[in-house]
Amino acid sequence: MRNTILSKFAVLLMAGVTAAAAAYALFDQSNSDKARASTPAPQIPVISGVAEKKDVPQFVRGIGTVQAYNAVTIKSRVDGEIVKVLFTEGQFVKAGDPLIQIDPRPFQAALEAATATLKRNEAQLTGAALDLERYGKLINSGFQSRQSYDQQQAIVGALKGSIAADKAAIETARLNLTYADIRAPIAGRTGQRLVDVGNLVQAGQPTSLVTITQIRPIFVNFTVPQDYADAIRHNQQAGSLTVLAYASDDKTLLAEGKLSLIDNQIDVATGTLRLKATFANADERLWPGEFVNVRLVLSMRSSVVTVPQRAVMQGANGYYAYVIRPDGTAQRRTVEVGGMQDGLAIVDKGIESKEQVVVDGQYRLSDGVRVKAEDAKPIAQPPVATAKDG
């Protein structure tokens, strides 16, 4: 009997303990839920940027080669010994500046000899003409024969021919004397000197003396895909298109010029259109033979909304971006992109100016999550093309 009572008491005691434990667990769970409800969700760190309205040029990219506006190879047009070199290598010379002096004495002597021969023949012509006049007066009286008169007339004609040849010889001697003084035919930079004082040069030799390249102004030849041919021709009719030349890093602007030539045919082998631009190159930042990255500005889009290019993602349904709302939460937006260039994306629809967007850290986001934004570094933009003449 006593054992039965103890067993019942133990059962009741265990039931009470279980009930108390369950009540405590329920109370603790309730307190935990309240604590979690009162604790804000953790913020996800992201890099942010701001949508801005800008004037953005639309351009076509190409790779170009710098070409001298004019290039002249200087050669001797007379034979002789070089007695003076009047320039330094790499010097900028003007048209008419002296470059090389060939020994002028042989040509001066030839000029003086031709002049002396002319004077002698002119004197002989004077005497022969007087004799011809006398023969003409005496022929009717029979003191001179017709044959003598004709012979004298031939002598006068021959002397006149000799005088004409003497004058030509004088001009040739003067020309050779001028050729002995070699001067720059154009303004430009001289290249490497290929001859020294004392060298003998000949008019027919293939070796050049020096080259001169005109680099102010200068050309850039480049090609673009044929798909842009119609747009280029259409915009060129409205006014000369601006061409920007960048260094090999595609960031350093070297010069700004104008499109000066659209080739008259498409290259069927490559499907490209050849173009040429002219640059003033006053600071000589473009150099003949240099490879440059070219941007041909077709038009200018004014006051368009732009965001950093990294802010725009591409999903299964198109482009999207995350916008940071004023309450610090992220919102996914579907956007329409009008183009991407130089680290910027043009947003035609989906984001307004001055809205804050997520530039980095999008892969950890979803709609409504809280974010901790840190400003992104500003993107260095190329200068906007101006209307100044190249």
Task: Return the CATH fold of 105-179.
Answer: Helix Hairpins (1.10.287)
Count of C-beta atoms within a 10 Å radius of residue 176: 21
Contacts 24+ apart (CB under 8 A), 268-274: 270/223, 271/225, 271/226, 272/223, 272/224, 272/225, 272/226, 273/223, 273/224, 273/225, 273/226, 273/228, 273/229, 273/232, 274/221, 274/222, 274/223
Q: Which residue has the tokens 């579907």?
A: 334
Query: Quick one: pLDDT at residue 284?
Result: 93
Residues 62 and 297 sit within 8 Å (Cβ to Cβ)? no
Query: Quick one: pLDDT at residue 138?
Result: 74
SS3 271: coil
Polymer length of the chain? 390
SS3 385: coil
Task: Return the CATH fold of 60-68+212-301.
Answer: Elongation Factor Tu (Ef-tu); domain 3 (2.40.30)
> Given CA atoms 139, 143, 148, 153 in this order, what sign does their dihedral have?
negative
Please check whether the domain covering 45-55+304-375 is classified as CATH 2.40.420.20: yes
Query: Quick one: pLDDT at residue 283?
Result: 93
Among the residue ranges 1-15, 319-333, 342-356, 360-374, the one predicted with the least confidence is: 1-15
Q: What is the rounded average pLDDT of the residues 146-158?
A: 83
Q: CA 289 → CA 65, 89, 92, 248, distances in Å?
A: 6, 18, 18, 13
Q: What is the rounded average pLDDT of the residues 79-85?
A: 95
Query: Quick one: pLDDT at residue 8?
Result: 53
Distance CA 155, CA 147 (A): 12
Question: Which tokens in the block code for residue 296?
Answer: 């041909």
Residues 344 and 381 sit within 8 Å (Cβ to Cβ)? yes
pLDDT tens across 83-107, in order? 999 999 999 999 999 999 999 999 9
Among the residue ranges 95-109, 128-142, 152-166, 358-372, the one predicted with the least confidence is: 128-142
Binning pLDDT at 50, 70 and 90, where does residue 123 land? very high
Query: Quick one: pLDDT at residue 179?
Result: 94
Question: Which tokens in the block code for residue 44?
Answer: 């996800």
Query: Quick one: pLDDT at residue 386?
Result: 42
pLDDT tens across 288-304, in order? 999 999 999 998 888 89
Query: Quick one: pLDDT at residue 204?
Result: 82
Question: Which tokens in the block code for residue 19?
Answer: 């009930």
Residue 193: which of 302, 318, 89 has the closest Cα? 89
First to last CA, the chain: 119
Distance CA 253, CA 57 (A): 15
Domain 76-99+183-207, architecture per CATH: Beta Barrel (2.40)
pLDDT tens across 158-169, in order? 999 999 999 999
pLDDT tens across 315-356, in order? 888 999 999 999 889 999 999 998 888 788 999 999 999 999
Query: Quick one: pLDDT at residue 4?
Result: 54
Q: Which residue has the tokens 């007695």?
A: 83
Binning pLDDT at 50, 70 and 90, where does residue 151 land? confident
By the 10 Å C-beta count (0-12 exposed, 13-18 middle, 19+ buried), 167 is classed as middle
Distance CA 245, CA 385 (A): 11
| Chain mean pLDDT for the chain | 85
Question: Which tokens in the block code for residue 209?
Answer: 């003396």
DSSP state of 367: T
Residue 26 has pLDDT above 80, yes or no: no
Binning pLDDT at 50, 70 and 90, where does residue 149 land? confident
Count of C-beta atoms within a 10 Å radius of residue 19: 10
Share of the chain above pLDDT 90, in %: 57
Binning pLDDT at 50, 70 and 90, where does residue 37 land? very low
Evaluate whether 45-55+304-375 and 105-179 have a shared fold. no
Query: Quick one: pLDDT at residue 44?
Result: 87
Q: For the chain, what are the domain ranges?
A: 45-55+304-375, 60-68+212-301, 76-99+183-207, 105-179
Q: CA torsion, points 325, 327, 332, 333, in degrees to nearest 10?
A: -30
Residues 76 and 209 sit within 8 Å (Cβ to Cβ)? yes
Distance CA 299, CA 388 (A): 15
Residue 224 has pLDDT above 50, yes or no: yes
Q: Facing residues of 53 across strands?
A: 305
Residues 215 and 190 sit within 8 Å (Cβ to Cβ)? no
Binning pLDDT at 50, 70 and 90, where does residue 153 land? confident
pLDDT tens across 228-273, in order? 999 999 999 888 899 999 999 888 999 999 999 999 999 999 999 9
332: CB partners within 8 A, 6+ apart: 320, 321, 322, 365, 366, 367
Distance CA 163, CA 8 (A): 160
